[in-house]
């Protein structure tokens, strides 16, 4: 799975995060293709609460272990 994200709170303003089948992941600066569109999402992370609004999966509220502030617009792509 690949996530192309635009916004504040990540290492770079625009990044591509790739999750591999073994569960590991890595991120790269900018947009890395190819892109096989699956969904669009918005992630708002305040302290330990994350609100995710996803075109495919709907609205979710998650709790995380670390405090962060992020406002991200993203695209989900298959690898």
Pick from 41, 33, 37: nearest CA to 16:
33
What is the pTM (predicted TM-score) of this model? 0.86
Rounded Cα distance, 9 and 1, in Å: 21
Per-residue pLDDT 10s for the chain (79 aa) are 999 999 999 999 999 999 999 999 999 999 998 999 999 999 999 999 999 999 999 999 999 999 999 999 999 998 7
Phi, psi of 18 (to 5 degrees): -115, 125
Count the residues in the chain.
79
């Amino acid at each position: 799975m690949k996530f192309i994200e635009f916004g504040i709170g990540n290492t770079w303003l625009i990044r591509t995060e790739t999750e591999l089948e073994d569960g590991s992941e890595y991120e790269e600066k900018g947009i890395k293709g190819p892109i096989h569109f699956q969904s669009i999402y918005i992630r708002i992370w305040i302290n330990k609460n994350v609100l995710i609004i996803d075109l495919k999966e709907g609205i979710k509220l998650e709790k995380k272990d670390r405090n962060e502030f992020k406002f991200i617009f993203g695209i989900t792509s298959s690898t």
